Amino acid sequence: MVSSTTGFSSYFHFSQVDWPSMWSATGETIWMTIFSLVVVAILGILLGLLLFETAGSSNFWARLVHGLTALFVNVFRSVPFIILIVLLLPLTKGLVGTIIGPKAALPSLIISAAPFYARMVELAFHEIDHGVIEAAEAMGATRWQIVYKVLLPESSPALVSGITVTGISLIGFTAMAGVIGAGGLGNLAYLDGFQASNNTVTLVATIIILLVVFVCQTAGDIVVGRLDKRVSN
Partner 1 sequence: MIEIKNVSKLYRGKQKTITAVKDVSLTIKDGEIYGIVGYSGAGKSTLVRMLNGLETPTSGVVTINDTVMSELKGKPLREARQKMGMIFQYFNLLWSRTVLENITFPLELIGMNKAEREAKATKLIATVGLQGRENAYPSELSGGQQQRVAIARALANDPQILLSDEATSGLDPKTTDEVLDLLLKIKRELKITIVVITHEMHVIRKICDRMAVMDAGAVVEDGDVFDVFRNPKMEITRQFVSEEETPQLTDTTVVINELLAQVPTGKIVKLTFHGDQAKLPIISEMLRQFPNVDLNIVDGSIHQTQAGSIGTLYLQLLGDDDEVAGATDYLHKMRVGTEVIRGE
Distance CA 76, CA 84 (A): 8
C-beta of 1 vs 138, nearer to partner 1: 138
Give the binding range for partner 1 (CB under 8 A) out of 38-46, 69-77, 146-154, 161-169.
146-154
Near partner 1 by CB under 8 A: residue from 46, 136, 147, 213: 136
C-beta of 93 vs 149, nearer to partner 1: 149
Sign (positive/negative) of CA torsion 97, 98, 104, 110?
A: positive
14: number of Cβ within 10 Å: 11
In whole angstroms, what separates CA 211 from the centre of its chain?
A: 17
Long-range contacts formed by 218-227: CB under 8 A, 24+ apart: 219/164, 220/160, 220/161, 220/163, 220/164, 220/167, 221/161, 221/164, 223/160, 224/157, 224/160, 224/161, 224/164, 227/156, 227/157, 227/160
Near partner 1 by CB under 8 A: residue from 64, 134, 196, 207: 134
Residue 145 found at the interface with partner 1 (CB under 8 A): yes
177: number of Cβ within 10 Å: 29
Near partner 1 by CB under 8 A: residue from 149, 211, 215, 221: 149
Helix, strand, coil percentages in the chain from 3-state DSSP, rounded to 5: 85, 0, 15
C-beta of 1 vs 139, nearer to partner 1: 139
Amino acid at 37: L
Near partner 1 by CB under 8 A: residue from 75, 135, 219, 222: 135
Which residues in the 104-133 window bind partner 1 by CB under 8 A?
A: 129, 131-132
Which residues in the 156-195 window bind partner 1 by CB under 8 A?
A: 156
C-beta of 65 vs 227, nearer to partner 1: 227
Residue 53 found at the interface with partner 1 (CB under 8 A): no
CB of residue 198 to partner 1, shortest distance in Å: 50
Q: Residue numbers of the site for partner 1 (CB under 8 A)?
A: 129, 131-132, 134-142, 145, 149-150, 153-154, 156, 227, 229-232
